[in-house]
């Protein structure tokens, strides 16, 4: 059907190897049974590893499902190449979690922790959209009934949970700010400090402590070199894309255009 060992021969990380092997199991199932199947939720880095593998399976079609355009976590639908996407049922459920949070400060981490506290694994949960009244969450269709039955409270605050539609998601439009910058080099700490408007020393500390991702993967080396179209992200601070290189300034510094997504 396809040569799994050849496809994965370049993968060295054990955790990612397990994730990709599971996805290829599902691809094999879809082709053998002639029906769609779906991966768990994958982050952008995991998808960047998986998609090139899927592109090498000539009789396979795939499509990503995240709930909204800029969602970070998505499930990948796998099906024979003759399948029409229009007849494939979306494998997602949209839930609204509400409660009286007037006197309790809760965050994305609190809601996610409460969901995982019911025994659900992270890979079954997609993006969370936190608002003043609670949280909207996208989950795998397979766990809807379990979550609605077992999810009772967040930070001791009783909550109600109900199913909503994708159109009811309260997702704010992504804001983009263009920054013109000059840097001494294309080191990660140099470009990131410019894009996030902080000192290089502070950014280097963030990088070393594992708080910075380069192309969706944690990078702990401040001296790591970056390139055009690379994406640098910090949880809670958005992300920066290296959009264009404009040559050098009179002082020999590299001129860049950065896109800051907030």
The H or E element containing residue 245 is: strand 238-248
Percent of the chain topping pLDDT 90: 84
pLDDT, one tens digit per residue, over 19-64 is: 999 999 999 999 999 999 999 999 999 999 999 999 999 899 999 9
For the segment 147-172, the average pLDDT, to the nearest whole number, is 95
User: Which class does domain 176-261 fall in?
Assistant: alpha beta
Whether 4 shows a pLDDT value over 80: the answer reads no
pLDDT, one tens digit per residue, over 121-139 is: 999 999 999 988 899 999 9
Report the C-alpha gap between 28 and 33 in whole angstroms: 8
Write down the domain spans for the chain. Answer: 4-87, 92-168, 176-261
Whether 221 shows a pLDDT value over 90: the answer reads yes
CATH 3.30.70.330 fits 92-168, yes or no: yes
Name residues whose C-beta falls within 8 Å of residue 66's C-beta, 6 or more positions apart in sequence.
72, 73, 74, 75, 92, 126, 127, 138
pLDDT, one tens digit per residue, over 183-218 is: 999 999 999 999 999 999 999 999 999 999 999 999
Whether 1 shows a pLDDT value over 80: the answer reads no
pLDDT, one tens digit per residue, over 82-97 is: 999 999 999 999 999 9
Percent of the chain topping pLDDT 70: 100
- List, in sequence order, every residue forming a beta bridge with 74; answer none if it has no partner: 42
pLDDT, one tens digit per residue, over 171-180 is: 988 889 999 9
pTM: 0.85
CATH 3.30.1370.160 fits 4-87, yes or no: yes
Is the torsion defined by CA of 39, 42, 44, 45 positive or negative?
Answer: negative
């Amino acid at each position: 059907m396809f040569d799994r060992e050849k496809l994965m021969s370049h993968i060295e990380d054990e955790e990612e190897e397990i994730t990709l092997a599971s996805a290829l199991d599902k691809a094999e199932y879809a082709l053998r049974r002639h029906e769609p199947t779906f991966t768990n939720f994958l982050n952008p880095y995991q998808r960047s590893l998986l998609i090139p593998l899927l592109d090498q399976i000539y009789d396979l079609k795939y499509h990503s499902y995240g709930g909204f355009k800029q969602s970070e976590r998505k499930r990948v639908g796998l099906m024979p190449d003759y399948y029409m996407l229009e007849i494939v049922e979306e494998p997602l459920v949209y839930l609204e979690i509400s409660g009286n949070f007037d006197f309790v400060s809760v965050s994305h981490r609190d809601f996610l922790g409460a969901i995982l506290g019911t025994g659900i694994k992270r890979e079954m949960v997609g993006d969370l959209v936190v608002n003043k009244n609670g949280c909207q969450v996208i989950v795998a269709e397979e766990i809807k009934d379990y979550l609605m039955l077992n999810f009772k409270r967040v930070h001791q605050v009783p909550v109600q949970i109900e199913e909503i539609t994708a159109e009811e998601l309260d997702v704010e439009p992504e804001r983009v700010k263009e920054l013109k910058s000059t840097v001494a080099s294309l080191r990660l700490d140099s470009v990131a400090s410019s894009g996030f408007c902080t000192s290089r020393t502070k950014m280097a500390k963030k990088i070393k402590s594992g708080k910075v991702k380069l192309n969706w993967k944690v990078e702990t080396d401040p001296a790591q070199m970056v390139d055009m179209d690379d994406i640098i992200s910090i949880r809670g601070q958005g992300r920066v894309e290296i959009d264009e290189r404009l040559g050098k300034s009179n002082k020999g510094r590299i001129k860049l255009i950065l896109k800051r997504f907030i």
